[in-house]
Structure 1
Amino acid sequence: MTAPILQASSLTKHFGGQPVLNALDWQVRPGQVIGLLGRNGAGKSTLLECLLGLRERDGGTVTVFGETVGDLSPATRARIGYVPQASDLFEWMTAQQMLAYFAALYPRWNGARVAQLLARWGFDALMCGKPISKLSGGEKQRLSIIRALAHDPELLVLDEPVSALDPVGRREFLRELVDDVIGRGTTVVFSTHILSDLERVALDVAFLKDGKIALQGGLDDLLERARRLSGPAALLASVKVDGELRRTSTSDGLVHVITGAANAGLLALAAREPALRLEPLSLEDLFVEVTQ
């Protein structure tokens, strides 16, 4: 099996004595396109920052392309593209000056691609000559994306990359991501709260809850096998459900069991017992059930 590009073992991070990442283990393999999901405050940004060495971890190890994240070589850093949730651009520079600065740092800087993206996303000569501080939030976000894509990274980490974009900007970015970046085999980790966008892009999804990856798998496979099994408590008390993620009881005596691994046995049980109801789950349903 191909060695992982990103690997975290027992990754731990605390804020104010509270664990945000709790001995988390995770692997990202070459060519994967993973949507990272979690509730607000679950620690998605913290996880991505720790994986890239941008935030100090309290415990555990992280390797990127086989190197310890705290000691990445310049050659390895040049293989990574990153778009943070909050703009980290040099706001006293113009867009043209900032891109020229980064072009000098990256041996694989693709000037033709930068010019193409600037033109496609509305950065004319006037806009490129403005101080970045004078650009709108959406324009800054587009510029961050252009900077991250400009050196054709092998690993692209995106933290809520479309949060400041309007619907047209989101559509253009997702088209670029699908048609070019993913088409070239780039490994992508994509954090977003817009599930419809994730469904258009991600091949795999990972759910972050209580500081750990609670569930991960191929998006199509998870949606194919995720089910809600509902029925009387007396009937379900003795039922063991493979891949059980959550079990709750309601005041009317019903029990709801969420599974991410519905199999032939469970389907047969539901067919035999008229009191049981088995329902498929959408990605939104699965997100709610796994992360609450």
Structure 2
Amino acid sequence: MRVGSANSRVIRHSGGRGLRFAGFAGSGFHIVLRGTCWLITEHQQPVELHPGDVVLAPSGAEHGLSNRPCALRELSVLMPVQPSPEPADFEFLCGAYRLTHGNAPQYLRSLPGLLTVSLDYERHPQLNALIELLEADVSSAVPGAGATVPALLDLILVHVLRRWHELNATEHAAPADTAIAAAVQQIHAAPQHQWTVARLSEAAGLPRTSFTRRFTEALGQPPMRYVTGLRLNRGAQLLRESDAPLATIAREVGYATEFAFAGAFRREYGISPGRFRRSGAAPVRIGGMSEDRAHTAE
């Protein structure tokens, strides 16, 4: 998610029916800070929320928050405004990673469109500390927020997902496939290695056909597609977070030349590595087609 743009803000709402959040490519959450409100969706019954409750949109599903039960169509789309100092019906902290025309990772897209989690802050005091830090950083213009906000979003998302899996283990957990886990562990340890299906199936101790089938079932994509996605995601992170030359980044993520890396990057994200680095924008996926495919590697 780090290749997307990280945003966070505190929203205070009073009067009217509530607020609607349009669907978007990425992942986000709301944490109710004060007051009570209702989660409104298109097809499910409203869910009452209390301070400390979390709404997680793993792949950016449309939804709303209201001070009373209603239909989603009755809510107005949120417009960006400065929070008022006046008392509010309810107040919540938002955080999101936005991927321009992209998709959230397969794992997040495999989850339900909207999750609600009631957190035990006495049992997990570290999560309360993370929320307080994020609220403080987004409530005032403090130096370094550009670095701290993405890190805090990462940690809060992980803690919320852990808690949700604890509460829904019987219903949603898939059986662990230790053979596939071993192969994935090796891919992550050395994505630059010249992996093939044969080498990965050997690492998993499985025949190639059985390995490919089980890998695809477990991760939602074939092995080499997973390897390519991981390499390019790491490449995107290095483009954003370092000033290393393109040739160096290409070698670090498993491409022999910067031109091979640039071509794969454009096919995956629809933008050249050079333009991505200069703009600071999230990659743009366009169905595997590149909007700048006529350009040479930058």
Higher relative contact order (CA 8 A, sep 6+): 1
TM-score by length of 1: 0.27
Q: Which has the higher helix share?
A: 2
Q: Which has the higher strand share?
A: 1
